[in-house]
Amino acid sequence: MKFFKLIWLVAAFQIACVSQFVVAEPGKLSVNGSATLFVEPDFVTLNFYVSREATQAVAANQQVSEVMSQLITIARQQEIAEADLKTSGISISENRRSRNDNCSAPGIQAQQTLTVVLRDLELVEELIDEMVEAGALIKGGAQPGVDDLEEYSKQALQLAIDNARDQAGVAAEQLGLSVGEAIEVSFSSRGSRRRGTFSTSNMPSAASPVTYLPGLIPISQSVSVTFESSVDQ
């Protein structure tokens, strides 16, 4: 079941001091609550880019296309779905360093990016090694993700509301109040992404195989809840 993908729950209690976190008005009691789920990723998004330089744009473009073709072949051999492969257009630019070096023919640089959504996380290291060996570099690290982000967000929201109600009970006891129904709720989400890391670097070379550490993805919700309240008799 999807629920068992939940690894760790943090309920952040924000009443360290009642006067700091609780707003008491006549007939009202306002508190903050939060919760964070740490879940395993369902997939990881990797961006591989190819950059080649030549004296003419056509040659640079052809070199990039040849390497990109190899990368796509590698991805297909790993049975990655076509929907999980996306290539950018090839960008062409003048290499200013070559021009400043007073070369007779300034270098023309071509670049292209292949974005891969990999759903078998056991293949991450193997895929990276093969792509790097074929001539690619990794752009921007890795981005683990989950398919059911909305569902996890709902779970975190419910836990945050429960946390707020628990805090309202603690505050009410300190203030000599009784807590009624919730009459106003506002909430915000945060921290739904976390980059994975490599044990070597984010731009490995063919000579240094990597170990991928995806980590857990934090999915957080914070709420501010106002409850009806009355003075205990």
List the domains of the chain with CATH numbers: 2-40+148-194+217-231 (3.30.110.170), 43-144 (3.30.70.2970)
Positive/negative CA dihedral, 173, 179, 185, 187: positive
Residue 188, φ and ψ in degrees, nearest 5? -145, 150
Cβ distance 170 to 203 under 8 Å? no
What global pTM score does this model have? 0.70
DSSP state, residue 78: T
Q: Give pLDDT tens digits for 13-62.
A: 333 333 335 666 788 899 999 999 999 899 999 999 999 999 999 999 99
Report which secondary-structure segment, H or E, holds 224: strand 217-231
Q: Where are the alpha helices (DSSP H) in 108-223?
A: 124-133, 149-175
Q: Give pLDDT tens digits for 150-205.
A: 999 999 999 999 999 999 998 888 888 888 898 888 887 765 444 444 443 444 44
